[in-house]
Amino acid sequence: MKKFNYLLMLFTAATFALTSCGEDEVPDNGVTIEGIPATATIEAGGTLGPVTATATALDGLVSLVITKDGAPLATVPLSGTTASAPFSYPAEPGDAGKNVVFEFTVTDTDGDVAKATHVLTVGAEATTIRITSNLTTSQTWETGKTYILAGRIAVEPGNTLTIEPGVVVKGEVGTGANASALIIPRGAKIEAVGTATQPIIFTTVADELEPGQIASPNLDPELNGLWGGLIVLGRAKGSFLGNTSETQIEGIPASDPNGLFGGDNDADDSGTLKYISIRHGGANIGEGNEINGLTLGSVGSETEVEFVEVIGNQDDGIEWFGGTVDVKNAVVWNAGDDAIDADMAWNGTLDNFIVVNAGDKCFELDGPEGSYVNGNYTMTNGSVAADDAAGLVDNDANTNVDLSNIYFFGIKAGQTFDQTPTVPAAFSNFQVTLPAGTAITDFFLGTSAEATTAVAAGANTVGADKAPFAGWSWTAVSGALDDFK
């Protein structure tokens, strides 16, 4: 209806510019209409024209009537013996892949008519869209389509990116300043809400995955560093070096102002992430400066993050830098560095989470970097398959974390819960399945051993519920969660 109104206004405006000519410029008999091509072709979403329709009638013009596929589209009053008007038509979504037939009928004062027919071929709607620059307006990425990140793409402040269920987002390969990533900076929002049957998948252009698929048809889940990752930044508080109120996020060049995070609004709202899978990321922008799978920098408590999967990231799986956002139902598989990482006095909760293998530590848990402290963050109801990880938990001396109801298995010699922080923290209800001939104190150091009980494989009464990951996550579909309760 919006485009019909636009077309009608266009023709109405045109009638005020019509020019009358002498009778000697009009054929001696009949009514004519000229200037309308018989056919034309445009891409989906394109616009036909403008083309100029010229009508003549010796006895005087009355009207020009336009129909689209037999239905009335516009009626333009005419006068004089010759009149010209421009015609443009912006293709509607329903026109994609079709032949649209327009009929133009000119009528004179005696009721005589002349007709012209135009067949417009509209191309099929594009299903792969390459994003080459920052989003300066709010956009919706649509179900059934694949969007290619041609570089570091930010949603400019004041705008919202809505990603519909089933969308696939692929990052092009690049390192350094050319590393591709999707950034939601302070003041912007992302509404990426998938479903249990249609997750939103972030991956690399090397992945042949198409909308509707869960498992990659060509990539192994261990492959990493093939693009950047998803970075969400907010205005909540954080504890930063130098006691500043804001700082630059790791993984984004200091020259990019969209990389700043921090502020004083703990209830900041960066949008919603639900049923999303982030794969094969972690591109390096400099020595020791990689992009995490999911980066949450000073993200506020009004932001919703649930049902999140990170697979095969070269750096950390999920990392918090300050902020107050909670995360529920998260799984990290094959992180190249740490699976779960928290820094800068994050003050939220991670609830119901699974870690399957990590390149370095399963958890790297740090405390404040400045003077700002706001109690403890919480990690609870987790299951950890340590597998080939270098260690279990790496705490700083000032790590401000409460850990509870966590089950560890698949552990090996040398993997440790390395120290108990000196700041007040609560550790409770750890369970572990030990390798034969070992003791709890071989792995759980300091007072962490006091919170830990040894159990037989599969006999754990604490840990994560894997049911929320069924169906939509590659980790579950692959069978990597089969050993979890």
Q: What pLDDT score was predicted for residue 287?
A: 58
Average pLDDT over residues 126-137: 96
Residue 440 forms part of a structural domain? yes
Residues 59 and 147 in one domain: no
Segments forming the whole domain that contains residue 452: 128-477
Asked whether residue 100 falls in the same domain as residue 168, the answer is no
**What is the percent of the chain where pLDDT is above 70?**
92
* Range name among 19-28, 89-98, 141-150, 382-391 with the lowest pLDDT average: 19-28
Tell me what the pLDDT averaged over the chain comes to: 91
Q: Which of 122, 137, 163 is the last residue before a domain boundary?
A: 122
| Domain annotation covers residue 484 | no
The predicted-structure confidence for 344-356, as pLDDT tens digits, reads as follows 999 999 999 999 9
pLDDT given for residue 19 in this prediction: 36
173 and 82 in a common domain: no
Residue that is written with structure tokens 């519909």 in the block: 164
Domain final residue, candidates 122, 155, 172: 122
Scanning the structure block, which residue is given the tokens 């598989």?
333
Tell me how many domains the chain contains. 2
- Considering the domain architecture, whether residues 161 and 290 belong to the same structural domain is answered as yes
Q: Residue 267: its pLDDT value, please?
A: 98
Least confident of 16-25, 46-55, 428-437, 465-474: 16-25
Q: What's the whole-number mean pLDDT along residues 173-181? A: 80
Residue 235 lies in a domain: yes
Strand 99-108 relative to strand 113-122, pairing: antiparallel
Model pLDDT, residue 120:
95
Q: What is the pLDDT of residues 270-300, one digit of tens each?
A: 999 999 999 999 997 765 667 999 999 999 9
Residues 52-77, mean pLDDT to the nearest whole number = 94
The predicted-structure confidence for 9-50, as pLDDT tens digits, reads as follows 333 333 323 333 333 334 445 899 999 999 999 998 899 999
Residue that finishes a domain, picked among 69, 90, 122: 122
Whole-structure pTM value = 0.83
Assess whether 76 and 162 both reside in one domain. no
Peptide bond just before 50 cis, omega within 30 deg: yes
Q: Are residues 412 and 313 in the same domain?
A: yes
**Same domain, yes or no, for 63 and 146?**
no
Looking at the domain assignment, is residue 485 inside a domain?
A: no
70 and 211 within one domain: no
* Best CA proximity match to 312, nearest among 282, 334, 291: 334
Asked if the structure places residue 333 within a domain, the reply is yes
